[in-house]
Structure 1
Amino acid sequence: MTDSTALGAAGRLLHSRRHTTGPNHRPAATPLELPQAPVPDIGTPSPQPLPDNGFGATAPAGPTAVETTADVDSRAGAQGAPADVKAGPAAQTLAAAVGTGAGVTESASRRSADPLPDNGIAGLCEVVRPGMLTTVQDWPGRVGLWHVGVPPSGPMDDLSFRLGNRALGNAEGAAGLECTLGGPALRFDRATRVCVTGAPVPVTVNGLPVPQWRTVEIPAGGVLDVGSVRGPGMRCYVLFAGGLAVPEYLGSASTFTLGKFGGGTGRALAAGDELAIGAPGEGAAGVPSDDQPVFTRRWELAVTEGPHGAPEFFTRNDFDTILGTDYEVHFNSDRTGVRLIGPKPQWARTDGGEAGMHPSNIHDTAYTVGALDFTGDTPILLGPDGPSLGGFVCPVTVVAAERWKLGQLTPGDRVRFVPVRAERAASLRALGPERRAGWPIVLSAGGDGDDGVLARAETPDGTAVTYRRAGNDGVLVEYGDMTLDLELRARVQALHEQLLRQADPDITELTPGIRSLQIRTDPDRLPTGRLLDLLAETQALLPGTDELVVPSRTVHLPLSWDDPATREAITRYMHGVRADAPWCPWNIEFIRRANGLASVQDVYDTVFDAEYLVLGLGDVYLGAPVATPTDPRHRLVTTKYNPARTWTPENAVGIGGAYLCIYGMEGPGGYQFVGRTTQVWNHRSSGTGEDPWLLRYFDRIRWYPVSAAELLDLRADFAAGKCDLRTTDGEFRLADYRRFLTDNADSITNFRTRQSEAFRTELDSWRAAGELADRDA
């Protein structure tokens, strides 16, 4: 096992970004040296505002009556970055966050002769112009936390990023800059070597043009200016000899702007920031042309079938259409996902059953970066800042070695999905011609032809087990039928815990869903066939579900019913996305109607009477729970927004299918609102030894009512670390739960019958209004 290919045990990936040698390391060569030239005066303009680009973007602030996350931070005395990362004003250096002493406030150009502390930092660079959206990233990013809703982040085009690092003699994953649509201007206090890779972009040093894909020597006091991306392509990368010396958060320096962490400040670069650069190694002169990727306006993406194929979820015609269509990239695309424009599926089902009214709805399942996710009728390629858990089907998944292309897809580009056999997909480790990145097309004789279903089996008591392909580097294990059954979730928990105990070093992620467990692997070391054998052996070790006892706390949380922030989100949706949706203008009335309740008060009573069992974390992001009432008579059923919202207030509480979710942060969403609560992610816990996520699997949430004003005070206290929530320890015993269901079987059946009739009535009204009718995309 070599340094650059080692994988950590049971969900923690160790990669060569922490090392300086490995199989892809190349011997030193002479970099491109430039003559001294006068430093151009390019000024220090203010950071450019970011556009509201829809999916995943933070929408503009609402009226002052609606508190935003920033309002809470202000009242709390600044929540900001995690406690172990200093995040001050723009002029505060990131070097200070890693222990270089007092914060640096002077310009790097004025201190080029000052000695630096002997702590591995070789120099500083000042951000003169930040560019449109420039962030610190490392590779492979924040791996091992998918199960609690923390995305990997990292460079969206990992190939260009890693090639640039290799040219400089760095570890492939050393921290550098990702630049969207255009790059920054940087002034260096000491001579530094850099390499600019990715999409074509003009690059100058002290006003003189320099090439991309070559290492370039910048003199002390020199200015590197990376201009606007000319296309094709969307992102370029700036790598530094020695890498950026940026403090890690949860194991990575990568910036996750939606979560407000990573990169030292939790945000994109701003004018006046200063970046610390590590001690350089020896590097090659550049990236050979045969290794460089090809950028185009029409992309072919190699995909594997699954996890959700035909004929279970899509018709055969749907699947042929997905593979035979040139989709167009929508302008509402970013690091969370790339929206596509294309034909609407016909669908193999009329609805999602208990999971929701739309046929795209399923019980919440772990997603894969690169999966083609149908959120309603809208296809989205999930990106490295995308959600880890959700309730929509994914018919195909881009193979790991091809996901770099997602970072270069530009609005208006065309995308064609080409099926390949999973075992023949290129290796993610490959960086040379074997990566096939220099080919404008995908050569393939066809896919696996199995609809993404790898195998079917049964447990000793006859429960069905389905093994689905989730890319060439993952398997999704599903139990039972497509129903909400806590016994199935208990089986998932038993498998999850057994695999954690076995601690196989080639398993990199374990993410439970409602009735499924996603297992991500290093396919070069643990191929899918061997993984299936391992899972069959593990299944035989599992206890009977009647014997399962799980720790289960009761957590009491405040709920501001029909909170003003959620009303504002509905208003934005009606104005900016869709005004005629059946759930508008009031989600709670829609919930009442869909469940056959007599009044909105009945909805209120049901929510506050219920005890919500946490079945998953990370829906959507940062420890956000997906939960369902333990008593089936409290399970309100509804559908999700279609199309999804582009903005949801932090910690909004909603219902989708039969599930309740607390949104961990601002962002997109689809659950029907009932109110808002306190934070479920503690930014202050990092460095204390405590997990930043509040809830655990099988916790039971009980709500107590508070006013909107009271909630604001509680949120401010929580942000300041002063809010103590009431919790009670306990256990969840499946045998006891089975007895409860038996004792109340008649009442539960009557409730479900009435609810199903109301659900069908609502669906009939949708069909009459053309809501489910075919329409042109």
Structure 2
Amino acid sequence: MSATLTAPEPVGTTRATTVEVVAPGMQTTIQDWPGRIGYWHIGVPPSGPMDDLSFRLGNRVLGNNEGAAGLECTLSGPTLRFAAATWVCVTGAVADVRVDGVPVEQWRTVEVPAGGELSVGAIRGPGMRTYVLVSGGLEVDEFLGSAATFTLGKFGGNTGAPLAAGQRLTLGAPNARVAAAVPMDSIPSFGRRWELAVTEGPHGAPEFFTRNDFDTILGTDYEVHFNSDRTGVRLIGPKPEWARTDGGEAGLHPSNIHDNAYSIGALDFTGDTPILLGPDGPSLGGFVCPVTVVAADRWKLGQLAPGDKLRFVAVRSADAAPARALGRERRASLGSVLSAGRDGDDGVLLRTEVDDETRVTYRRQGDDGVLIEYGALTLDLGLRARVHALHQHLIATAPRGIIELTPGIRSLQVRVDPAVLGITSLLTVLTEAEALLPDSSQLVVPSRTVHLPLSWDDPSTREAITRYMHGVRADAPWCPWNIEFIRRMNGLGSVDDVYRTVFDAEYLVLGLGDVYLGAPVATPTDPRHRLVTTKYNPARTWTPENAVGIGGAYLCIYGMEGPGGYQFVGRTTQVWNHRARPTSTAGPGVDRFATDDETPWLLRYFDRIRWHPVSAEELLDLRADFAAGKVSIDTTPGEFNLAAYRDFLTTNATDIATFRATQSEAFTEERLSWKSSGELTD
């Protein structure tokens, strides 16, 4: 055991408790662990330290709670001036660390004297991030239960942004005793070549990938792309062969699926581009994920630097090291080397039958999650009703150990704490629940009609397309105008027909958080309004906040700036604003954001969105009012009745079949065009 040291004692009530940021470093943020848990279902990622191992070890040696708020530094760190003598520990990648100009060791506790300065310079070796932990942690206002900074969402860490020069941080009460250093056998090893332990699933061979694809994924040294960050680590590697020609209703590319919840650490193929999803990544999306990094190895994502090489090593899920462990089993690649082997089940844990028509598939999502899928790979609101029934049942019964429930189009993700509820026990809970669910064919749920403005073909979306053409891909068939591409894909006569179809449609919200922060994934209730497109491949690196796009058979509103792949039709006002307050003059029939800042999302499951046109200038005015808290959204109460909806489909079956036939012909023609140009191969 390391020796313990006596920490400086507070002097009465006059002890200064602040730290001044003299220089902020390149990208220094306040984080805590495990971050913002419980909001995955509305598109709020956990955030927290990307390398949780280095972060937690530093807290532990200082006598703090492992999750106490500290600083994450990317590439270079800050210079901090301490008003009172304070014990600190700097962990993570090797950097030049000094106290009042004198070099000090990382992974050891060091006392910064009153008035002294701690400086963390540029990283000098492998790795991307260092961590600064202080005795007592940082005192930070929480948002949605966490102090973790989510810079894309502009919340957490008090300011929602990286540290700035002149900012003052408040220290928590210091601990009486601290250890001298993190034990040597617990310090993680960094390098330029990494092994990441992964489990098979959720989307394996032979349904989505070929056997050769899967062997390639496990046998390839992928290279880390320079365009990587906390949302995801983009990789350079071979293009899959794919086990199917397209994604059907979900999109033209074989990577496209009906939107489901992702896991942190999933290897997400956005088209042919593999991306490891990080702690600021999206919760919901429509791309396949063949393997998932086990929870105990996800710390490595935070240290992957551009040019690094990595290899995925399949492990049996039962052999994965516990995520909460901080001992030598998590140092580097020991867990993956010692436990190498495959579950050999293609990521499918179990298949059962609900009835003669509906199969339930339970898919593995790492060692801490299961994705439950209903029925065939089709868009069927009856399947969404079944998901809703299971979701509500699990909320009501609240099995111990379940920490997140996130519905998708035809799926429900269940994330657990494996130390409390193992995956085998979870499967028992889930299969027993099926026998207790009500008849989902009789689903009747509240369903507001929410009237939102839409700036058609907005200049901001045009700018995003231009950026994509200049920075990513100029020859994409959806460029230079997404709306013309949508027209062509659906066999419509003109772009005016696209306009009329979108504004005539009523979009039913099936999921939230599709591209963050309460952003809906929705589909027209009338299949004759259901435009089908494919998604960008590769994905965009920038999308304007609240852009509106169509991908597969779905429409989404982007909750914030970030990457994306849906084909643009325009832009709307905010669907999330944690600073907004309702207008005092709003009258009857007007809905608004809740008055408390813990519920900043606008839309709910099964809401129906109706668009009304506004000019680009009018939208900017509406957005400015919204940002200022002048929120008034017209809504009409109602309900969604699945039985009545099915009667509607039966009554209009002939017209719907005619529309789908025309659409299918255009879809096939576009696919053949792509094949002839080399865009697609069988």
Q: TM-score, normalised by structure 1?
A: 0.84
Q: C-alpha separation between the residues in 2 aligned to 1:723 and 1:390? A: 28
Q: C-alpha separation between the residues in 1 aligned to 2:335 and 2:317? A: 20
Q: C-alpha separation between the residues in 1 aligned to 2:418 and 2:21? A: 40
1:404 aligned residue: 299
Aligned partner (choices 128, 131, 153) of residue 234 of structure 1: 128
1:200 aligned residue: 94
Q: C-alpha separation between the residues in 2 aligned to 1:31 and 1:200? A: 27
Q: C-alpha separation between the residues in 1 aligned to 2:331 and 2:354? A: 42
Q: C-alpha separation between the residues in 1 aligned to 2:534 and 2:384? A: 21
Q: For the aligned residues, what is the CA RMSD?
A: 1.7
Task: Please tell me whether residue 215 in structure 1 is matched to residue 109 in structure 2.
Answer: yes
Residue by residue over 1:627-682, the C-alpha shift from the partner in whole angstroms, topping out at 9 and shown as x without a partner, is 00000110000001111111111100000000000000011111000000000002
In the TM superposition, what are the counterparts of 1:14-413 in structure 2 within 5 Å?
A: 29-30=4-5, 123-281=17-175, 282-413=177-308
The amino acid across from 1:764 in the alignment is L
Structure 2 residues without counterparts, runs of 5 or longer: 581-593
- The CA deviation at 1:464 is 0.7
The amino acid across from 2:102 in the alignment is L
Task: Please tell me whether residue 618 in structure 1 is matched to residue 593 in structure 2.
Answer: no
- The CA deviation at 1:444 is 2.6
Residue by residue over 1:428-467, the C-alpha shift from the partner in whole angstroms, topping out at 9 and shown as x without a partner, is 1110123353749632341101000000001135311000
Residue 592 and residue 289 in structure 1: after superposition, are their counterparts in 2 closer, same or farther (change >3 A)? same
Q: C-alpha separation between the residues in 1 aligned to 2:157 and 2:208? A: 40
| Preserved contact between residue 31 and residue 216 of structure 1 (Cα < 8 Å) | no
Residue 165 and residue 122 in structure 1: after superposition, are their counterparts in 2 closer, same or farther (change >3 A)? farther
Residue 438 and residue 465 in structure 1: after superposition, are their counterparts in 2 closer, same or farther (change >3 A)? closer
Q: C-alpha separation between the residues in 2 aligned to 1:326 and 1:136? A: 33
2:606 aligned residue: 698
Q: C-alpha separation between the residues in 2 aligned to 1:27 and 1:231? A: 26
Q: TM-score, normalised by structure 2?
A: 0.96
The amino acid across from 1:29 in the alignment is T
Q: C-alpha separation between the residues in 1 aligned to 2:269 and 2:495? A: 31
| Preserved contact between residue 300 and residue 440 of structure 1 (Cα < 8 Å) | no
Residue by residue over 1:239-267, the C-alpha shift from the partner in whole angstroms, topping out at 9 and shown as x without a partner, is 00000001111110000000000000000
Task: Please tell me whether residue 414 in structure 1 is matched to residue 309 in structure 2.
Answer: yes
| Preserved contact between residue 28 and residue 169 of structure 1 (Cα < 8 Å) | no
2:585 aligned residue: none
1:83 aligned residue: none
Residue 293 and residue 690 in structure 1: after superposition, are their counterparts in 2 closer, same or farther (change >3 A)? closer
Q: C-alpha separation between the residues in 1 aligned to 2:257 and 2:645? A: 24
| Preserved contact between residue 292 and residue 438 of structure 1 (Cα < 8 Å) | no
Give the match's secondary structure for 1:227: strand
Give the match's secondary structure for 2:466: helix
Give the match's secondary structure for 1:717: helix
- Structure (1 or 2) with the greater strand fraction: 2
| Preserved contact between residue 194 and residue 309 of structure 2 (Cα < 8 Å) | yes
2:624 aligned residue: 716
| Preserved contact between residue 488 and residue 666 of structure 2 (Cα < 8 Å) | yes
1:604 aligned residue: 499
Q: C-alpha separation between the residues in 2 aligned to 1:760 and 1:183? A: 53
Residue by residue over 1:86-141, the C-alpha shift from the partner in whole angstroms, topping out at 9 and shown as x without a partner, is xxxxxxxxxxxxxxxxxxxxxxxxxxx99967xxx861111111111100000000
Residue 441 and residue 475 in structure 1: after superposition, are their counterparts in 2 closer, same or farther (change >3 A)? closer
- The CA deviation at 1:721 is 1.4
1:61 aligned residue: none
| Preserved contact between residue 306 and residue 469 of structure 1 (Cα < 8 Å) | yes
1:51 aligned residue: none
Task: Please tell me whether residue 467 in structure 1 is matched to residue 442 in structure 2.
Answer: no
Residue by residue over 1:224-246, the C-alpha shift from the partner in whole angstroms, topping out at 9 and shown as x without a partner, is 01111112111000000000001
Give the match's secondary structure for 2:623: helix
Q: C-alpha separation between the residues in 2 aligned to 1:705 and 1:462? A: 41
- The CA deviation at 1:543 is 1.0
| Preserved contact between residue 320 and residue 335 of structure 2 (Cα < 8 Å) | no
Give the match's secondary structure for 2:20: strand
Q: C-alpha separation between the residues in 1 aligned to 2:241 and 2:355? A: 37
Give the match's secondary structure for 1:455: strand
Q: C-alpha separation between the residues in 2 aligned to 1:644 and 1:546? A: 37
2:615 aligned residue: 707
| Preserved contact between residue 21 and residue 167 of structure 2 (Cα < 8 Å) | yes
Q: C-alpha separation between the residues in 2 aligned to 1:413 and 1:594? A: 39
- The CA deviation at 1:546 is 2.2
Give the match's secondary structure for 1:319: helix
Residue by residue over 1:373-419, the C-alpha shift from the partner in whole angstroms, topping out at 9 and shown as x without a partner, is 00000000000000000000000000000000000001111100000
The amino acid across from 2:74 in the alignment is T
2:436 aligned residue: 541
The amino acid across from 2:113 in the alignment is P
Q: C-alpha separation between the residues in 2 aligned to 1:171 and 1:697? A: 37
1:448 aligned residue: 343
In the TM superposition, what are the counterparts of 1:573-612 in structure 2 within 5 Å?
A: 573-612=468-507
| Preserved contact between residue 714 and residue 723 of structure 1 (Cα < 8 Å) | no
Task: Please tell me whether residue 430 in structure 1 is matched to residue 331 in structure 2.
Answer: no
Q: C-alpha separation between the residues in 2 aligned to 1:134 and 1:722? A: 33
The amino acid across from 1:722 in the alignment is K
Residue by residue over 1:479-534, the C-alpha shift from the partner in whole angstroms, topping out at 9 and shown as x without a partner, is 00000111101110110010000112300000000000000001122111111110
Residue 441 and residue 658 in structure 1: after superposition, are their counterparts in 2 closer, same or farther (change >3 A)? closer
| Preserved contact between residue 7 and residue 178 of structure 2 (Cα < 8 Å) | no
Q: C-alpha separation between the residues in 2 aligned to 1:144 and 1:300? A: 30
Aligned partner (choices 572, 575, 584) of residue 677 of structure 1: 572
- The CA deviation at 1:276 is 0.6
Q: C-alpha separation between the residues in 1 aligned to 2:172 and 2:473? A: 49
Residue by residue over 1:182-213, the C-alpha shift from the partner in whole angstroms, topping out at 9 and shown as x without a partner, is 11111111100000000111111011111100
The amino acid across from 2:676 in the alignment is A
| Preserved contact between residue 28 and residue 162 of structure 2 (Cα < 8 Å) | yes
- The CA deviation at 1:27 is 9.0
The amino acid across from 1:378 in the alignment is T
1:503 aligned residue: 398
Return 411-420 or 723-732, whichever deviates more.
Answer: 723-732
The amino acid across from 2:5 in the alignment is T
Residue by residue over 1:292-339, the C-alpha shift from the partner in whole angstroms, topping out at 9 and shown as x without a partner, is 101111100000000000000000000000000000001000000001
Q: C-alpha separation between the residues in 2 aligned to 1:380 and 1:528? A: 25
| Preserved contact between residue 32 and residue 215 of structure 1 (Cα < 8 Å) | no
Give the match's secondary structure for 1:608: helix
Q: C-alpha separation between the residues in 2 aligned to 1:768 and 1:351? A: 15
- The CA deviation at 1:280 is 1.1
Q: C-alpha separation between the residues in 2 aligned to 1:125 and 1:687? A: 33
2:380 aligned residue: 485
1:567 aligned residue: 462
Residue 445 and residue 721 in structure 1: after superposition, are their counterparts in 2 closer, same or farther (change >3 A)? closer
Give the match's secondary structure for 2:332: coil
Aligned partner (choices 422, 447, 450) of residue 555 of structure 1: 450
| Preserved contact between residue 294 and residue 439 of structure 1 (Cα < 8 Å) | no
The amino acid across from 1:153 in the alignment is S
Q: C-alpha separation between the residues in 1 aligned to 2:163 and 2:11? A: 24
2:588 aligned residue: none
Give the match's secondary structure for 2:497: helix
Residue 687 and residue 278 in structure 1: after superposition, are their counterparts in 2 closer, same or farther (change >3 A)? farther
Q: C-alpha separation between the residues in 1 aligned to 2:376 and 2:336? A: 39
Q: C-alpha separation between the residues in 1 aligned to 2:303 and 2:2? A: 29
